[in-house]
Amino acid sequence: MSSGADRAPAVMTLRAKRSLEREPRPATTAAQPASSAPVRDAFPHTRRPLPWALAAFLGMLFFVPIDSTELKVSLPVGAQPDRFAIILLVLAWVWFGGDQRAFLRTRRSKLYVTAVVVFLTCAVASLLLDAGRIINLNDFTLAEKRFALLGSFLILSWFTLTALRFEDVRGFTSYLLGLATMMSIGMIIERQTGYNIFYNWSSTILSPIAKVAVSPTNIHPEFGSDGRVTVVGPTIHGLAATTMLVVVMPFALVRMFDSKTFRRRALYGLLFTLMLVAAAATQRKTALLVPLAIIAYLAFYRPRAVLRLAPLGLVLLVGVVHFAAPGALGTIFTPSAGITSSSTTHREGDFTDVAPDVWARPLLGRGFGTLIPEDETQFRINDDEYIDEIWEVGIIGLLAYMFMIVAPVITARRVIRERDPVIEPLALAASGGCVAYLVVNALFDAMSFPQAPYMFFIIAAIATITAGGPAGNVQPARERVRQLIARRTALAEAGA
């Protein structure tokens, strides 16, 4: 009979084998706060190519007027640079192993992805169930173009979900704040001088490969439409530029609330102020209404922080906005201007004029993509995306569209309530960006300008990643294969 000492090496070897066969433990457990997990290989301190590819796409979005730029190539479809950039993202995703392509096996919430699939199903069904009429009216070509654009939005959102890890979110949102700040400065310069940096510099730099249209900027209200200035930044319309800024504003506000020193609080307060000033420079009421909605949403979770900074913030904001964008507050707050402006008068007939078409096809609408917002001779331009959605995809499609926007907010609610010092601020800010987009859709036809939905689908993906926390990460496919090979090698050596 062998003694316990003789059995010890055999027991230890068996334990070693079992430990090697175990799956790697997650960075944190439910009992550990995310703040205890070490931050490593996180954006921007990472060599992983996919986060940098996403960062490059965002840089293009904030600095290049993509809807006014066409590459000098002959194609049967539009040659806007964002279409080619999406193709490059797909190729990078395939070439580099998709990074976190196993998203569906992660612990991240699938609510947002489910909502996207439901809306996409409604959009396809709205075409198929009325295909005869759509083909007879020659509207199918229109639908193809809109589906291609919708596909670009969804691909970008999926790319964000699979390219970023939880540890990347903090650095990536800092990058977003930097882009929004530089865009804001450019728009303030545009409002003061009439010089659009984004259009003019893009035209100069891209002249060998692309043609950039002339900027629609006009800082003389007497010569502009409905008496307001035209400040557009890197977009074709001030509302699109405003949307890009308002969905980023919550990140600056939450960081301002959480800053421990006056210097950092002042820094993030300045960033928020710059974004608000740039948005107000467009003289669109969206620049006032959406930030108020954001503050109301943040106050629901952080009432003390909002009330503590509200008086001083109000005084400073009014002064800075009045100085940087003269006349903006007057135009926004003037009741007579709001009642008699052409946009307000136009809104009065938004639903009334499309109601007969809606009631003729109430469930799935006339077909997704069968409207041309740019063609005023055939279609009415509505100042409400929700009306456009019920017109195109019916009541079911409208509910699916709204569910898609709200899904990240619902997902973030649980982790916000848990008050983790790392996860909660990021989840609150990202869900605040989705709330901003929810309000934006009621104020203009947001899907008509690509920058607005691009920003939403990125922020929605970030909210989903954040809500999953570190436990929602998954190993990249190639890294997992390398670990499996190393584990088998170790087992073989242990057995020998």
* pLDDT at residue number 89: 94
Map residue 24 onto helix, strand or coil. coil
Number of H helices, E strands in the chain: 21, 2
Nearest residue to 196 via CA among 171, 173, 213, 208: 213
Long-range contacts of 380-383 (CB under 8 A, 24+ apart): 380/350, 380/353, 380/354, 381/346, 381/445, 382/350, 382/354, 382/445, 383/343, 383/346, 383/347, 383/350, 383/443, 383/444, 383/445
Mean pLDDT (whole number) for 61-68: 95
| Average pLDDT in the chain | 82
The answer, yes or no, to whether residue 13 has pLDDT greater than 70, is no
70 membership: H or E segment, kind and range: strand 69-71
What is the percent of the chain where pLDDT is above 70?
75
CB 482 within 8 A of CB 97: no
CB atoms within 10 A of CB 5: 7
Is the residue at 132 inside a domain?
Answer: yes
Take residue 66 and report the two structure tokens written for it. Answer: 């993509």
Take residue 443 and report the two structure tokens written for it. Answer: 């104020």
Contact residues for 45 (Cβ-Cβ < 8 A; gap 6+): 171
* pLDDT at residue number 477: 55
CB 67 within 8 A of CB 236: yes
Which residue type sits at 395? I
CB 269 within 8 A of CB 313: yes
Long-range contacts of 201-205 (CB under 8 A, 24+ apart): 201/63, 202/63, 202/64, 202/65, 202/69, 202/234
* pLDDT tens, residue by residue, 266-307: 899 999 999 999 998 988 888 888 999 999 999 999 998 888
* pLDDT at residue number 350: 56
CB atoms within 10 A of CB 111: 17
The answer, yes or no, to whether residue 242 has pLDDT greater than 60, is yes
Map residue 42 onto helix, strand or coil. coil
Take residue 359 and report the two structure tokens written for it. Answer: 């009631």
Residue 98, Ramachandran bin (φ over 0: left; ψ between -120 and 50: alpha; else beta): left
CB 460 within 8 A of CB 408: yes
14 class by beta-carbon count within 10 Å (0-12 exposed, 13-18 middle, 19+ buried) = exposed
The answer, yes or no, to whether residue 479 has pLDDT greater than 80, is no
Is the residue at 454 inside a domain?
Answer: no
CA distances from 203 to 182, 199, 479, 492 (A): 18, 6, 42, 61
Query: Strands 69-71, 210-212: parallel, antiparallel or unpaired by DSSP?
Result: antiparallel
Is the residue at 420 inside a domain?
Answer: yes
Look at the chain and report how many structural domains it folds into.
1
Nearest residue to 447 via CA among 101, 145, 181: 145
Residue 58 CB-half CA count within 13 A: 28
Is the residue at 392 inside a domain?
Answer: yes
Taking the C-alpha atoms of residue 450 and residue 145, their distance in angstroms, rounded to an integer, is 13
Is the residue at 77 inside a domain?
Answer: no
DSSP string, 204-264: HHSTTTEEEPPP--B--GGGSGGG--B--TTSSSHHHHHHHHHTTHHHHHHHHHH-SSHHH
Taking the C-alpha atoms of residue 132 and residue 144, their distance in angstroms, rounded to an integer, is 15
Is the residue at 118 inside a domain?
Answer: yes
Burial annotation 222-253 (CB, 10 A radius, 16+ → b, else e) = eebeeebbbbbbbbbbbbbbbbbbbbbbbbbb
In which band, very low, low, confident or very high, does the pLDDT at 380 lie, cut at 50, 70 and 90? Answer: low
Calculate the CA 285 to chain-centre distance.
21
Largest CA distance in the chain: 104
The answer, yes or no, to whether residue 353 has pLDDT greater than 80, is no
Instruction: Choose the most confident range, by mean pLDDT, from 65-74, 128-137, 405-414.
Output: 405-414
* pLDDT tens, residue by residue, 157-179: 999 998 898 999 999 999 999 99
Owner of token pair 């909660």: 424
* pLDDT at residue number 8: 44
* pLDDT tens, residue by residue, 420-435: 899 999 999 999 999 9
What is the percent of the chain where pLDDT is above 90?
48
Give me the phi and psi of 240, to 5 degrees please: -65, -45
* pLDDT at residue number 395: 94
Mean pLDDT (whole number) for 133-148: 81
Take residue 488 and report the two structure tokens written for it. Answer: 């088998």
Is the residue at 481 inside a domain?
Answer: no
Q: Of 139-148, 359-368, 425-434, 458-467, where does mean pLDDT reach its minimum? A: 139-148
Domain holding 126, by residue range, is 110-148+175-443
* pLDDT tens, residue by residue, 83-106: 999 999 999 988 887 655 566 667
CB atoms within 10 A of CB 354: 19
Is the residue at 211 inside a domain?
Answer: yes
Taking the C-alpha atoms of residue 417 and residue 315, their distance in angstroms, rounded to an integer, is 31
